[in-house]
Structure formats: structure tokens, C-alpha cells
Amino acid sequence: MSLHPDKIPLIHGFVDGELDAANVLAIEAHLKGCNDCRAELARIEELRGLLASTKLGDRASDRLREWVDAMIDRESGAASQPGPVAARLETPRRRRSGGGITAHVLNGRWASGALAGALAACLALTVAVPQLTRTDIQDQLIQSHIRSLLVGHVVDVETSNRHVVKPWFNGKVDFAPPVPELADEGFPLVGGRLDYVDDHEVAAIVYRRRLHTINLFVRPAKTLSLPIGGITTRHEGYSLVRWTADGLEFWAVSDLDLQELKLFHELYIARASP
Amino acid sequence: MTGGRFWPRLVRPTERPTEPRGNADKAERFRLVMLPHMDAAYSFVRYLTKDPVAAEDVVQEAFLRAYRSFDTWRGDAPKTWLFTIVRHCFLDIVQTQSGRGQARDIDGWTGSVPAELIERHSPESLLAEKNEAAMLRATIEQLPEPFRETLILRELEELSYKEIAAIARVPIGTVMSRLARARQMLAELLLPGASREARA
């Protein structure tokens, strides 16, 4: 076993191209210095090569295709009549035995189970999707944060004067993010930047806390979203605070610890409101 | 048929457009969007059930359910949507089958590779197999759930971690650790010498 079990999932994520920039850099650095993990990487790649070179999939039989085809005809044609259950009985089926799945498919218990399952599937989709989307946005914001630091392109307009930053956004985005002065509380303003998140332009206002950079992303809140008072999360080593105010949605992203970022959030709220 | 009472009353009003015209469009769209994934769906279920006949049953039921709830599809990631239903059908069918218990172990499996598996699939005996593909498939079928499922979705269907997470309804971190474990087990079974080192 490798000496670094905690790194193993990351190596797999690396092989699958599923890591973000920060984790790729971290794991590459680790692999350089760790023979065991490099051997593990080679093993994973050998295994993947073996799997890729073998035909592992199956083709659905013609009979199955025909059945599905007939099912669609039946379902789409039989909107008013006859009942779908009656239609199911006509299906040609080859069975090894009379019992088993067929019996379950055709009896009442199965039907209610199927309904419950279909409902559960619908619920699963509606419940699971927004959550994934949120994580996705968090990923995007963190990557945007990292990128701004990596390429040294933190700000488009560099100034500690809020009266310069605020008008600069004017005409670049169709909303006016508040840019309060927080330097006296230890959060000097660095500047502003335009960024692109989730297919939309967002304003990024950049503050600093000691040596840490805070990217505050601002975009119009979705019309249907509920007011949010300040949800805090840690994600991949970064702190995020999210809130909405005056029809705008705010995401503060930083490698600061969560407490300090919450302090930033409170100060910002207090100073931003007139 | 006791089930006859359920279908028309509950399914029809919510999930069926009223006009025949809409039905034709829906059927055409469904054929266009979902049918191309039939082979993939069948392969996936085949690995879950380890039984071609049972796999066909699951796929039939899954496509029927998918068609009936096609209106709830939001227009993105059709394969993920379809596979979520397919997996549900599989679990439902297996759960209603008291005798077989194939997916009994689908969650919470954390142990190591059972010793008898390693015996049966030692590298020596593997080499003796004539058909490498059949051997490989049989070996994958030996993996316990949920690792087999995760491996198939990644290596065979080439879905992203996020899509796998959506289908299996687990966090992405769980997908990562399951996949790592699945590959580790498979490597122990397939790669000559690897298992000795790994366990040393």
C-alpha cells in the first residue's frame, strides 16, 4: 500500500482530469517527490489501459429494441385508450421461468413500486440538481479566485479609492455593486475586475486582509431566489460566504479562515447599506 | 391485474399530454434523445444484474418509466437522466425479489477483496483464460457493489464524477473514494505481482 492513502483519491481524480487547478498543482508537486504514489499512478494507468483496450460493453438485442419501439408507439398512440397494463400483456417475452421478474412486473405490488420509483426519480432530479449546480458555482468561483491570483490579474482597475472603483463598473455591468470603504477595519480595497462565471458577467471587487486576497463576486440575484443572510461554507480549502441584498447576490471567496471572512461579510453589509 | 387500477388513474393526468399531436412530438423527441443510449443502459444493467435476461427486463421497465416521465426531463444530460431511472428500476426489481439478494451489499461495503476471489482469479489462472475480454468482464462482475457500479459508470460509460454522483445520489467525494477502491481491487485481481506488493 502506498505511504499516502489520503492522496490516493486525488491521484485517481488527477488521472480522470477531475481536479481543479489548485489540486492538480498540489498533486503534481507531491508525485514528483513520492515514489510510492508515482508507482500507484502507473498502476492506475496500466489498469485503465487494460480496460480501454477491451470491449466491455454490450449491445441491446434486436428484440429489446423492437420492444421499446413498440412501447413508444403504444404509449404515444394510446392516449385515450386502451389501458397501458393491457398493452403490457401483449408484449412478446422469452422467459426461462414463469416467475421472477415477470411476475413482479405484472402484478399490483410492482405497479405501486414502479410509481413510487418514478416519483422518487422525479424528486431525486429536482432535489439533486440544484445542489449540484451550487457546488458547480462554488467550484467556478474558487477557480476564478485562484486564476486571478495565478496570472497576477487580480484587478482591472487598481485603486484603493472606492470612488474610482464604483464608477468603473458603470457601463461594464448593468448593476451597481456597492463598494464600501473598509480599510480602517483591516480590509483595504485593492480594486475591481470583470469576471465571467456561470455564463454571465460578474463584478469582482477585491479586498485584502493582511496577505490574503478576498474576491467578492457580485451578480444580479435570480428572480426566484430567496433572500440569503450569509451562508458560509468551506470548499476545497477555501472559505465562501454567500448572501443577497437589494437584488444582488454576493459571494466572498478567500483562503482566509471562515471567521475572518464572516467578519468581512458583516462589515461589508453594515457599510454598504446607506 | 390488480395493478390495472393504479396506472390509468395516477399516471395519466400528470404525465401525459392531452393532445395526440403532442404525443407524436414527444415520441419523436424521445426516440431521438433517449434511444441512442440503449446500448449503454443495457451494458450498465448487465453488469449490475450479471444476468442478460434480467437486464433486459430492467431496461424495458426503465424505458417505459422514462417515456412516461419524459415531460419532467429538463433538456440537459439525457444519459444521466436516463441512467438515474435505470438504476432505480434495477434497485426496485432487486429489492422486490426476496430470493436473490443480488444488490444486498450495494451500500456500505468497505472491506478488502475476499480471499477466495484472489484465489480464483490469480494471475496464473487468468492467463489460462482463452478469451481475455470474457475474463475481464467476469472479473469486473466479481467486484462488490457499490464499487462495480462506480467503475462501470466511469470506465465504460465515461461519465464525469459529477454525473456519477447524480446517478448514484452520493457526494462527489464518495464517488472518488469508491472509484479509487474499485480500481485498487481490480488492479489486485488483474495486474500480475501488484497484489503481492500492495499487501506486503
Q: What is the pLDDT of residues B50-98, one digit of tens each?
A: 888 888 889 999 999 999 889 888 888 889 999 999 999 998 887 676 4
DSSP state of A80: S
What pLDDT sits at residue B99?
A: 42
Q: Give the best residue of A7, A12, A104 to mutate against chain B (max B CB count within 10 A).
A: A12
**pLDDT for the residue numbered A184:** 87
Is there a contact between A43 and B194 if contact means CB atoms under 8 Å apart?
yes
Mean pLDDT of B153-182: 92
**Across A63-67, A88-92, A221-225, A257-261, least confident range:** A88-92
Pairing assessment for the beta strands A212-220 and A248-254 based on DSSP bridges:
antiparallel
Q: Does residue B33 sit at the A interface (CB-CB below 8 Å)?
A: no
Does A228 have pLDDT greater than 90? no
Rounded CA gap, B146 and B133, in Å?
22
CA distance B129 to B158: 27
C-alpha cell at B64: 417505459
Does residue B113 belong to the interface with chain A, where contact is any CB pair within 8 Å? no
For residue B104, count other CB atoms closer than 10 A to its CB: 11
Summarize pLDDT for B104-139 with one digit per residue, the tens. Answer: 444 444 444 555 455 555 555 555 544 778 888 888
Per-residue pLDDT, B67:
92
Q: Tell me: pLDDT of A193 over 70.
A: yes
For position A117, what pLDDT does the model report?
60
Residues of B in contact with A45 (CB under 8 A): none
Q: Which residues of B touch A86 (CB under 8 A)?
A: 4
Continuous H helices in A78-107: 84-89, 100-106
Q: Which of A1-5, A48-52, A167-171, B180-184 has the highest mean pLDDT?
A: B180-184
Q: Which range among A191-195, A215-219, A221-225, B146-150 shows the weakest confidence by mean pLDDT?
A: A221-225
Measure B2 CA to nearest chain A CA, in Å: 5
* Contact residues on chain B for A37, CB-CB shorter than 8 A: none
**Separation in Å, CA of B16 to nearest CA in chain A:** 8
Look up residue A227 and give its DSSP letter: P
Burial-class residue B119 by CB neighbours within 10 Å (0-12, 13-18, 19+): exposed
ipTM score over 0.90, yes or no: no
Contact A151, A173 (CB under 8 A): no
Asked if B68 and A51 come within 8 Å (Cβ–Cβ), the reply is no
From chain A, the residues in CB contact with B176 under 8 A are 9, 12-13, 18
Q: Which residue of B has its CA nearest to A109?
A: B3
